[in-house]
């Protein structure tokens, strides 16, 4: 039983953490073939070949596959599907864009954001913003699955898979890339960071969000934000943690000035240790926090930053 | 240009849902239901395109139980012109899968011939994030998911998408499927006069059988369980204690 795994490739570079976590999840299903697709993907393919558990790597390089447009990428995967029982990917925005399209082309359901693999047909996934876990058994001949990377440990290195170059599918020519606006960051990537420090509405302004960033930098952490902080313009969209943002499960999650709405908890309640700093002792965040401090964040956060030095 | 907006009746986003003790699902009896928040954003965007002279008519479509007509009335009160309800379930606990919904929507689209479809990016009940993409695949149309800005320019739409790491702008050929992200707009509230007027707007009621679509599930729900609960935490009196606790655990 073979598994085709769409590697997360951005501008020719492999997102190793997301791909390795998906490989770890997919290894439970069968032999894993990784597909690296992009305008340039050879280097990403070479890197993917070194992930433990990868049996084979397919590299598809074509201008039409640049910027990960859904139509040509889905056509490529659907064209390869006959050899595989499972078609999987890490649940990133790229995969969420492409995989349902692939599934419909194959006339099968997609199983999104899988957090547990029971067997080759049976999967666990969170529903209702993570307030329930549903176990579903697929009756489809092919299973199209995205894996919630925060639920799996990354596969190690030491693999030596063979790499084969394949050609792209015909470009349907329905869409074109115009531009990217990438938020530059030297910090660890949010979904793979060991520590995440997040700020919410309580931070009050874009300037004061520097307090959150300073603490994060002291801890070598990634910076997250609640929807309220993003909507108020304190932090960029791609920092949002929650049901509609990113799902993280770091060793340590520090929630500052965040009340703890259902939609935010959906993105972080699988963190190993949660610390909450909030001046409202009734805030729901304290119900999931391992350590809670009722304090004004403008006093507590600078003090915390200093004492961690 | 006609715009079609699929909307879903879901549990209200503020409700803390309860899992039934027998593992058969989430208890939806006597729970407040509302329009899926992403679908409100989709309806709002369609109305704005009509106000800008881009769209001529907005058709809202919902699939599910009979009560979904309340959700369609909400869309009509916001500014949609007419509505189509496809009754495909008898029980509120039956969630029609995205693949079946996409097939029904495809049939509606073939009859209605809209130039643009605006859907929500995901429903907050099943959290699938799939229907729009599946619909685009079935129709062979272009797709622009997680949209935070939509500009229609002649026979293309220029759409800015929220992706991991920032924003991506693409142009897609019309007709296309766009799925709305949170940042696309701020949906309006329906005013009381508009709620009254919406009662007189046309609402066609159909069934899945009218479109010849089989809505039986591909995924069998084996069980639904509570997520693992977290053990009770402790409150610390000051920053020093917090730092000591974190150092003790080897976290900092």
Q: Which residues of B touch A262 (CB under 8 A)?
A: 13-14, 16
Contact A104 B102 (CB under 8 A): yes
Structure tokens at A276: 């909450």
Quote the pLDDT of residue A186: 86
The Cα-based distances of B54 to A222, A245, B7, B187 in angstroms read 42, 30, 21, 18
- pLDDT, tens digit (0-9, with 9 covering 90-100), for B72-105: 999 999 999 999 999 999 999 999 999 999 999 9
Is residue B169 within 8 Å of residue B157, measured between CB atoms?
Answer: no
- Backbone φ, ψ for residue B129 (5° rounding): 60, 55
Instruction: Return the pLDDT at A183.
Output: 78
Q: How far is B12 from chain A (nearest CA, A)?
A: 10
Q: How far is B202 from chain A (nearest CA, A)?
A: 32
CA distances from A142 to A7, A83, A115, A148, B213 (A): 19, 10, 19, 19, 21
* B76/chain A closest Cα distance in angstroms: 26
Distance from CA of A103 to the nearest CA of B (A): 7
CB contact under 8 A, B234 and A291: yes
**Confidence label for B230 from pLDDT (cuts 50, 70 and 90):** confident
Structure confidence by residue, pLDDT tens digits, A246-305: 999 999 999 999 999 999 999 999 999 999 999 999 999 999 999 999 999 999 999 999
Check residue A170 and give its pLDDT. 87
What is the predicted pLDDT for the residue at B252?
87
Per residue in B128-140, pLDDT tens? 999 999 999 999 9
- Residue A158: predicted pLDDT: 94
Q: What average pLDDT does the segment A165-184 reach?
A: 91
Task: Give the pLDDT of residue B232.
Answer: 80
Q: Indicate if the pLDDT at residue A141 is higher than 90.
A: yes
pLDDT tier at A184, thresholds 50, 70, 90: confident
> Could you give the CA distance from residue B5 to residue B179 in angstroms, rounded to a whole number?
10
Task: Please state, for a pLDDT cut of 90, what percent of chain B lies above it.
Answer: 97
> How much of chain A exceeds pLDDT 70, in percent?
100
Contacts of A269 in chain B (CB under 8 A): 227, 230
Nearest beta carbon to residue B137 from set A104, A132, A135: A104
Please give the ipTM for the structure prediction: 0.96
Asked whether the predicted pLDDT for residue A185 surpasses 90, the reply is: no
Q: In sequence order, which residues have a C-beta less than 8 Å from that of residue B1 and are 6 or more positions away?
A: B54, B55, B56, B114, B115, B116, B152, B174
In this complex, which of B126, B137, B223 lies closest to A74 when CB atoms are compared?
B137
């Amino acid at each position: 039983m073979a598994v085709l795994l769409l590697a997360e490739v951005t501008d020719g570079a492999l997102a190793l953490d997301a791909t390795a976590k998906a490989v770890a999840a997919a290894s439970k299903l069968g032999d894993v073939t990784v597909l690296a697709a992009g305008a340039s993907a050879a280097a990403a393919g070479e890197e993917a070949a070194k992930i433990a558990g990868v049996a084979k790597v397919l590299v598809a390089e074509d201008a039409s596959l640049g910027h990960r447009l859904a139509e040509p990428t889905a056509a490529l995967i659907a064209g390869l599907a006959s050899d595989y029982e499972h078609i999987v990917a890490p649940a990133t925005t790229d995969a969420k864009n492409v995989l349902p399209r692939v599934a419909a082309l194959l006339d099968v359901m997609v199983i999104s954001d899988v957090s547990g693999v029971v067997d080759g047909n049976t999967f666990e996934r969170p529903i209702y913003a993570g307030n329930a876990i549903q176990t579903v058994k697929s009756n489809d001949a092919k299973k199209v699955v995205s894996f919630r990377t925060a639920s799996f440990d990354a596969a190690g290195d030491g693999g030596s898979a063979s790499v084969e170059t394949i050609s792209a599918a015909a470009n349907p020519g329905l869409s074109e890339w115009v531009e990217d606006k990438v938020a530059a960051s030297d910090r660890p990537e949010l979904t793979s960071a060991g520590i995440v420090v997040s700020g919410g509405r309580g931070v009050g302004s874009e300037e004061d969000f520097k307090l959150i960033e300073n603490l994060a930098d002291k801890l070598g952490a990634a910076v997250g934000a609640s929807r309220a902080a993003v909507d108020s313009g304190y932090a960029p969209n791609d920092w949002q943690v929650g049901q509609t943002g990113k799902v993280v499960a770091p060793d340590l999650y520090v929630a500052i000035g965040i009340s703890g709405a259902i939609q935010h908890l959906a993105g972080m309640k699988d963190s190993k240790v949660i610390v909450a700093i909030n001046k409202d002792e009734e805030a729901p965040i304290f119900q999931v926090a391992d350590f809670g401090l009722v304090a004004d964040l403008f006093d507590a956060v600078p003090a915390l930053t200093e004492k961690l030095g | 240009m006609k715009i079609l907006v699929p909307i879903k009746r879901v549990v209200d986003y503020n409700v803390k849902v309860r899992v039934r003790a027998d593992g058969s699902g989430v208890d939806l009896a006597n729970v407040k239901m509302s329009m899926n928040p992403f679908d409100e954003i989709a309806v709002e965007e369609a109305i704005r395109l009509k106000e800008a002279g881009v769209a001529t008519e907005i058709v809202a479509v919902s699939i599910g139980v009979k009560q979904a007509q309340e959700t369609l009335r909400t869309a009509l009160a916001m500014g949609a012109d007419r509505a189509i309800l496809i009754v495909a379930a008898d029980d509120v606990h039956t969630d029609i899968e995205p693949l079946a919904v996409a097939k029904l929507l495809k049939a509606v689209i073939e009859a209605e011939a809209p130039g643009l479809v605006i859907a929500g990016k995901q429903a907050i009940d099943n959290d699938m994030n799939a229907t729009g993409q599946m619909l685009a695949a079935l129709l062979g149309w272009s797709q622009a998911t997680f949209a935070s800005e939509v500009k229609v320019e002649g026979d293309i739409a220029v759409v800015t998408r929220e992706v991991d790491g920032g924003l991506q702008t693409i142009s897609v050929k019309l007709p296309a499927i766009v799925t709305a992200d949170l940042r696309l707009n701020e949906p309006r509230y329906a005013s009381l006069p508009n709620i009254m007027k919406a009662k007189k707007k046309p609402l066609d009621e159909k069934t899945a059988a009218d479109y010849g679509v089989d809505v039986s599930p591909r995924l069998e729900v084996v069980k639904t369980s509570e997520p693992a609960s977290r053990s009770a935490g402790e409150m610390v009196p000051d920053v020093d204690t917090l730092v000591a606790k974190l150092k003790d655990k080897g976290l900092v």
